[in-house]
Structure 1
C-alpha cells in the first residue's frame, strides 16, 4: 500500500532505520548528545487524577515539527525524535487535525517503530457540528493508525457542548480512554473555568510557561480541586523566553536539580507546580527532544528556586 506522498511502508522503514542510525552516529561525533542523566534511567511520572495511572512528566508536541511529508529532509530526523522520547521513558505524543500533516506523520512513524512503541496518543476534535466532529475523529484514528486513542480533547473549546456527549459515549465504548479540553490564550480562561466547574473531565491542556503564569491564579488550583490532569502547551512561552535566557549563566543550584540547560530549567519550573501532570514541548529535533526529556529526572525545584526564576525573567 502506497503512502499518499509516494512512499511505501518498506521505504518508510528503510528511511527510519537509516536516519536513526545516521543521527546517532553524527551526534556522537559532533558532541551534540546531552550529558546522560545520572541515577534513574526512566523519567518520573505523575498520576492521572481520575485513574491514578502514572504518566511520564515530559511528552512531545507535534505542532509544526511533525507537519512534514516523507520527501522533506526534516522528516528524516523524526524517527530519532520518537526514539529519544521513548528511550528516556516518555510516552505522551500530542497532535491535532489543525496541525497539518502531523497526525499522519505520527501514525506512519509509530507504525514502523520497533519495538512496539509505548505511546500515549493524544489528539483533538476541532470543528463544528456533531457529524462533522465524528467524521474528523474517525479520520484521526485512520491517520494515527490506531483503534484506540488515549486522550481525545476538544480543541480550543470549539463547539464543546456538541462534542462532549460523543466523547463520553466513545469513552464508555473503550475507543478513547480519557477526555479533555484545551486552550492556549488567557482570554479564554473564564470559559475554561466555567467548563471545568460544570463538567467532569480527565484532562485540561493549557498554556503555561515561566513568562506566562496566568493559570496559576485560578485554573491550576481548580484542576487540583476537580481532579483534572494538566498538560502544559507552549511551555517555552511564545518563543522568546529561551532567547532571552540564552547566554545567561544557569543558577548555581542547577546541578543540584540535575539541570544542564535553560530549556530543562524552564520545564522543571512548570513541573514543580503540584497541579501539572505533564509538559509537552514541541520539537522536530532529536537533540532538543533528549534535552527536554531531561527535565523529567532529578529533584524538582523548591519554591525559593521558582521565585528566583520568576525574578530573573521579570
Structure 2
C-alpha cells in the first residue's frame, strides 16, 4: 500500500501534468450569465481537450478521474421518458469527456435500473468504474439485495461496494469482504453524508480499514478537512465526496454573484466548477460525484477536472463566502 507521502506526491504530480495540458478557452463574461452552467458549457467539447486529472486509489495505485457522477435524484426517472433520453446524452458526454466513476445505490428508487440500462444500451460498462451499496438489516436481506443490484445494474460484478451510511455494519462489512474475496467486488467502502456522523465514520474507517470512504465535503460544509480527510490520507483510504453542491443550496446562496477575479487562472467558468474544484483541491480527495440529469450541466461539471487546482488562500476565500 502506498504511504501517505507517496499518495500525496502522486496526486501532486498528476495535478502538475494536468495544468500543462492544453485547454479550450472558456467564456467568462462579467454579465448575468457568468458563472452559470450555460456559460461553462459553451466549452462542452473542451472536456476532451487534454486528460482529466486522475488520482490513485491508495490500496492499489489504480488511477481514476477526479470527476465522477452521482445518481441520487437525477437518475431516478422512468426508463421510457424524456428525462431518460436526456440521461443517454449525459452519460455519453460523461464517458467521452473522460469520466468513469458512477455511484449509485439500491436506496435510490430505480436509479440502479436506469444506470444498468444506460450502460448496457450505450455499451459503456467496460469504461465504467461502477459503485453501489449495501443497505439492509440482516444477512438474508443483504444477499437478496446484492443479487437484485447485479440484476438491475445488468452486470456480474462491481468495482466498489460500500456500506451505505454505516447501516448494519456488523453484518454488511463481512459480507462485502466475502464478495471481494470471490472477485465479485474490487473495492469495499463505507459511506455517510452528515457532519454529525464524521466521528462514527472515522471510527469505522480506522477499525475496518476499507479501500474507500464516501463523505460530504463542500465549501459550505468543510468540516471533513479537519478530521476525516487527513485520517484517510494517513491510513491509505480513498475518498469519494458527496454533496459537493449541498443539494443545490450553494447555487441559491451565490445567486447572480460573479466568480472571484482569479477564477479564470484556475480554468473556472461557472460556480459548479468552482465548487467541484474546491473539493478536488484537497489532496486526500480521490473523486467527487456530483449528480445531474442535464447534458449541458454534465459538460460543465467535467471541466472542473481540468486546469490548475486552488491554492489554500483561494480555498479559504471561497469558504468565507458561506460562513
Assess if the C-alpha contact under 8 Å between 1:37 and 1:297 holds in 2. Answer: no
What secondary structure does 2:160 align onto? strand
Q: Within 2, Cα distance between the matches of 1:312 and 1:182?
A: 28
1:65 maps to 74
Query: 89-98 vs 182-191, which deviates more?
Result: 182-191
| Equivalent residue runs for 1:61-140 within 5 Å | 61-114=70-123, 117-140=126-149
**Displacement after TM superposition at 1:32 (Å):** 8.6
Q: Within 2, Cα distance between the matches of 1:70 and 1:161?
A: 35
**Displacement after TM superposition at 1:115 (Å):** 6.3
Q: Within 1, Cα distance between the matches of 2:198 and 2:313?
A: 27
Q: Within 1, Cα distance between the matches of 2:247 and 2:126?
A: 31
Are residues 1:227 and 2:236 paired?
yes
Q: Within 2, Cα distance between the matches of 1:143 and 1:124?
A: 13
Are residues 1:286 and 2:288 paired?
no
What secondary structure does 1:179 align onto? strand
Are residues 1:271 and 2:280 paired?
yes
Assess if the C-alpha contact under 8 Å between 1:37 and 1:258 holds in 2. Answer: no
**Displacement after TM superposition at 1:163 (Å):** 1.0
Q: Within 2, Cα distance between the matches of 1:39 and 1:82?
A: 14
Output one character per residue of 1:61-113: Cα deviation in whole Å (capped at 9) or x when no partner: 01111111123221110101101111110000010011001000110111011
Assess if the C-alpha contact under 8 Å between 1:97 and 1:103 holds in 2. Answer: yes
Q: Using CA pairs below 8 Å that are at least 6 residues apart, which structure has the higher relative contact order?
A: 2
Q: 1:193 to 1:31 in 2, by over 3 A?
A: closer
**Displacement after TM superposition at 1:310 (Å):** 1.3
TM norm structure 1: 0.87
TM norm structure 2: 0.85
Output one character per residue of 1:131-173: Cα deviation in whole Å (capped at 9) or x when no partner: 2111101111111011110000000100011011111111111
Aligned with residue 257 of structure 2, among 228, 232, 248: 248
Assess if the C-alpha contact under 8 Å between 1:210 and 1:237 holds in 2. Answer: no
What secondary structure does 2:283 align onto? coil
Q: 1:72 to 1:275 in 2, by over 3 A?
A: same
Aligned with residue 222 of structure 2, among 213, 219, 223: 213
Q: 1:101 to 1:219 in 2, by over 3 A?
A: same
Q: 1:253 to 1:185 in 2, by over 3 A?
A: same
Are residues 1:157 and 2:166 paired?
yes
Unaligned ranges ≥5, structure 1: 1-29
**Displacement after TM superposition at 1:238 (Å):** 3.9
What secondary structure does 2:303 align onto? helix
1:7 maps to none
Q: Within 2, Cα distance between the matches of 1:31 and 1:193?
A: 39
Q: 1:129 to 1:281 in 2, by over 3 A?
A: same
Q: Within 2, Cα distance between the matches of 1:76 and 1:147?
A: 25
Aligned with residue 152 of structure 2, among 135, 143, 149: 143
Q: 1:176 to 1:253 in 2, by over 3 A?
A: same
Output one character per residue of 1:168-196: Cα deviation in whole Å (capped at 9) or x when no partner: 11111110000001001122122111111
Unaligned ranges ≥5, structure 2: 1-37
Are residues 1:177 and 2:190 paired?
no
1:3 maps to none
